[in-house]
Amino acid sequence: MNELLSLNYGHIFEPELLKEISEIGILKEVKEGDKLMEIGQYITAMPLLISGAIKILREDSEGNELLLYFLEKGDTCALTLSFNRGQRKSEIRAIAELNTILIMIPIQKMEEWSSTYKSWRNFIFDSYQNRLQEMLDTLDSIAFMRMDERLLKYLRDKQKLSNSNELQSTHQDIAYEMHTSRVVISRLLKKLELEGRINIQRNKIELLNLN
């Protein structure tokens, strides 16, 4: 764990903080599709991502999901700190988007280290800022972008995240994450295929030209 921490966070945290993380952190590997956090669950730890990606989802009263943002290498989800205050339950769902390696930190350490280490305090503040901006981007796309524009943005984000031109998702998967119907997504994907921008296969979409 010491080597992983140094490679991924050595440029951010003091040696003393890296030592503390290595002593209490729990190294964890999760597979694509594994659930790390469920809505209504009490949060006991926060993740430091070493590799892979985690998607953060919100759910409405009817069980429909909306993709809020992704966590990638070098990220954490500082929103877990706000959920922990007063022992509130989580209002988000976290699922591994890719095979992921992370270090789980006990939630109690977040505030303790914020008063002890300047680098940690800055790291958490930057995480708040980044997550807020990503949620605002999500809101903007819903409020101001047409559905076809939102779909293109979604496909580009997935392509960048996986560093691959193949998206292993069904039309229903995409509809869930974009909070719309499968019929709408299927129609828009077919249009993109006719334009030569994607190639639709069974449970897979080949991304050809999304510019």
What is the reported pLDDT for 59?
A: 87
61-68 LR contacts (CB < 8 Å, sep 24+):
64/176, 64/179, 65/93, 65/176, 65/177, 65/179, 66/138, 66/177, 66/178, 66/179, 67/138, 67/154, 67/177, 67/178, 67/179, 68/92, 68/134, 68/135, 68/138
**CATH at residue 152:** 1.10.10.10
Q: Specify whether 27 is located in the same domain as 129.
A: yes
3-state secondary structure of 49: strand
What is the reported pLDDT for 80?
A: 63
Domain holding 174, by residue range, is: 146-207
What is the reported pLDDT for 44?
A: 84
Contact indicator for 46, 110 with CB cutoff of 8 Å: yes
pLDDT in tens, the chain (211 residues): 888 888 889 999 999 999 999 999 999 999 999 999 999 888 888 899 999 999 999 888 888 888 889 999 988 886 666 655 546 678 889 999 999 999 999 888 888 898 999 999 999 999 989 888 988 988 888 888 899 999 999 999 999 988 999 999 899 999 988 988 899 999 999 999 999 999 998 888 999 988 7
Which domain-ending residue is among 127, 143, 159?
143
Q: Specify whether 7 is located in the same domain as 27.
A: yes
Contact indicator for 73, 11 with CB cutoff of 8 Å: no
> For residue 80, how many C-alpha atoms fall within 13 Å in the half-sphere facing its CB?
28
Q: Specify whether 71 is located in the same domain as 134.
A: yes
Which domain-ending residue is among 115, 143, 171?
143
Kindly report the pTM of this predicted structure. 0.81
Instruction: Count structural domains, the chain.
Output: 2
